[in-house]
Structure 1
């Protein structure tokens, strides 16, 4: 295998020999979401203990397609440069019907943005970079081979029982963050279950290593001749690893289909015989979530809170947006800066985000695997038309690619300003001399002054934007000036063309209280 799965050291925790002091946060799960959460909390001055029952990064590529927003978050966590250097940057997607391309799209890299639209990088590399960062951070206590076996909570604390190779011990914390994946043990311990839809469809994932001239593009086939008229997807990754997804049908036997003697002939039809099989998995389409993500002192994030089918890259990226939303809010509550009601806004906003991802993933799934009758007729007619008429290409759904949702209910707003940067949306990057605009935002509440002066005496730091074409287009439009209120997660909370101190102060208070 091209990737070296090294084992991380187990260290006997202090709780085995004496009771540990109460912790602020215990994070359960050291996948990308749990590790990112611990590092984001550390960015806000909050220490955490991260528990994981394993001591190796995830097997297989798993989440590979990281969106621009996730890359911006990685940059804030200190691994952005590593992900860009190792990953495969792409912007072109090609859609085929049968063996013929019917159209392609190019997301392109917008001028004046630090990060590209998407980078493909295997999850094990992302985890490795996050582990290295976490192990070097004084506010992150990362414990491998520490498995949570029990969970209970009272009015002001949560308690977990942890099993190690040397015995069991207990930990108390203000909050426990469940980042332990789609098969979350914490979710089971609380007797919680997902709501939503399980589709009767299975796909095969195969990671193959090969020297090939496939460009760094996303290729999707509807009904290709090389795969019995079903769907297929191809992505290039680092180390000459290619991800291949092949639709199998609900009647496929997962145990049989993952055997190399059955996988290899399928892959050969697409890429020829010159490859090495690296990893194989079978998955079912699920678009489901918990009813609520905050359960008193236990908070769910990532796949433990919601799962979607993988087309559209909304799983890992959606989890990173959970991290983005929760980190500053939990830190503010723990520091006494905000009431606990602020956490209700995490639940409200990220349930909204999960529902948007679920809706998009469900629509893509139905288009890829239409039911006999009207659904099938519509899908086939759209594919036939898309090869002849550009207007129909937008109806073809091979997975709407991940973008951050726009949270509703924030404001106030001024309709004269560009829709791109309306309240609820993530601030858009722009060059600022030898740095980037997003580097100046986030961490704390900021007032972004664009060609204006912010009133004095407000509980927010003011950042004066350097006016250029990108800032003009993204933040002013036809207006001559504007003032933006930006949350610590770089989400725009409010904006004004004519800023008034009283209105701004009211909006800042509402921000910390988690209300519009």
Structure 2
């Protein structure tokens, strides 16, 4: 048996690191190349949403992140003119939907080392990709290293090399969209808003204003401010920056500027994300999105959630290469019309411009949308996808929805739905175990079967090993599917299909997706 070539990931920013963690989670060999000598030290993204925390949890990296971060259960909305709060986003509304009913603040330069430390192999720093050749059965990378030129053979090449992606340019892929004339300025300051100068702002607060809006972000050990710079405007000097901050928060005893950065605002997306099912664009290499409402980095993590399991299934022989086509099919609309449009609407909302979104969908839907739990992917290739939940209460799940992550009781203790599907497809049969439904035995590493019932499976039912007790029908009611339905959940936590229960139905659904029969355990 020939040795499996590694997957080459180029770029060790948050998306490259998350992608590498995903490959490692699924047991796919990889190399992670970074042209710089160290990870980023710039002041960058600071807020991470619930959906990203779920991805990092699946990949085994969330504990270190949470230990270093500040957790937030409210996103504030403040009218600058009156300094009075408007309706805030209450993230505790999500307590029955996710293990993470909150978002976190953690600056990117502190986040990246934690993600890198969670990998079981080092990042290859000072490895600059010079060129590459796409062959029938591999990709050959020509790399400059501290020890001289080196060729690396890989099964696939994943471009996580940022908005100025050299891999994208080498492929001749065009980027369409616009760069706005407005820029954003981000500054970090030391200031006491907790004790002597107490301000009861939420840890993440948006000051809306027609002339000049601002975002206030409480980092673990300082405060961060983000505000727009008009077209052609020069960044303020240090003293003027501090004056500007105090125009929003009022006078304080002491304030110190720690750092600042100015960056352009984009809504630009690559016209093509994959080439020959061998090279894939990810993160900023595929889409540059306004970072309003934390949609920049967090949209990239959705890419890093979608692709690694597909590569694992193909490389194991559990799926045909056509499974890889779903990556661009599902993620590109989210970037073009989903995150990009939502971010632009958020920018208009902050500036109180026409065309801005409103949050008139109810507390649950507002929290669901702002955490990216609302993303429904086009899993069936028919253009049916969404970024926004609009109902006052959770609707029944549909194909493409992120599966709500509720707790159930297995024979050995508590388990969540995302725990069940983190390594395989999972078929959830919403049924009554007293009636001895036909639930297949678990003899495949790729597809697991579980009955979900408000009745605990009797020990003489023959179902004890694959039945999940749902006290009070909490999970059953949240999923909202008809009785005697099967919900097939993918390894990335998205619903692949909903169908009536029947002999072999989950296996048929799996084969339709993967173009391969369900693999069986080798005894």
TM normalised by structure 2 equals 0.80
Of 433, 437, 441, which residue of structure 1 is paired with 2:421? 441
Contact 2:206 2:350 in 1 (8 A): no
Q: How many residue pairs align between the two structures? A: 462
Segment drifting more, 501-510 vs 317-326: 501-510
What's 1:236 paired with?
A: 218
- The 1:403/1:288 distance shift into structure 2, 3 A limit, reads farther
Cα shift at 1:160:
1.6
Partner of 2:260: 280
In the TM superposition, 1:122-271 aligns within 5 A as 122-134=107-119, 137=120, 140=121, 142-213=123-194, 214=199, 215-223=201-209, 229-239=211-221, 241-253=222-234, 257=235, 259-271=237-249
Contact 1:26 1:177 in 2 (8 A): yes
Contact 1:66 1:120 in 2 (8 A): yes
SS at match of 2:233: coil
Q: What residue is the counterpart of 1:118 in the other structure? A: 103
1:199, distance to aligned residue in structure 2 (A): 1.7
RMSD over equivalenced CA pairs, Å = 3.1
Pair 1:408 & 2:378 matched: yes
Distance 1:327 1:95 in 2: 40
**Aligned partners of 2:4, 2:475: CA distance in 1, in Å?**
46
How far does the alpha carbon of each residue in 1:326-378 deviate from its partner, in whole angstroms, 9 at most, with x for none? 010011112222111111111100112212111212222344457xxxx65x7
Once the two structures are superposed, what CA deviation does each residue of 1:31-82 show, in whole Å capped at 9, x if it has no partner?
1111111111111111100000123332244222111111111112222122
- For structure 1, the residue ranges without an aligned partner over 5 or more in a row are 1-20
Q: 2:497 aligns with which of 461, 471, 494?
A: 494
Change (3 A) 1:403 1:281: farther
- Per-residue deviation, residues 408-458 of structure 1 (Å, max 9, x unmatched): 353999xxxx73422101111112343433212231111122335454378
Summarize the Cα distance change of 1:392–1:143 in structure 2 as closer, same or farther, 3 Å threshold: closer
| Aligned mate of 1:432, from 393, 397, 408 | 408
Matched with 2:519 is none
User: Which moves more between the two structures, 265-274 or 337-346?
Assistant: 265-274
Q: CA deviation at 1:248?
A: 1.6
On the 8 A contact 1:60/1:207 being kept in 2, the answer is: no
Contact kept in structure 2, 1:450 and 1:475, CA below 8 Å: no
| Distance in 1, Cα, partners of 2:494 & 2:190 | 40
- Alignment match, 2:304: 323
Give 1:328-407 correspondences, 5 Å limit.
328-355=309-336, 356-369=338-351, 402-407=372-377
Runs of 5+ in structure 2 lacking a partner? Answer: 385-393, 451-466, 517-523
Structure 2 CA distance for aligned equivalents of residues 391 and 44 of structure 1: 38
Aligned mates of 1:30, 1:454 — CA distance in 2: 47
Q: With the length of structure 1 as denominator, give the TM-score of the two structures.
A: 0.81
Q: Name the structure 2 match of 1:289.
A: 269
CA pair 431-502 structure 1, distance change in 2 beyond 3 A = closer
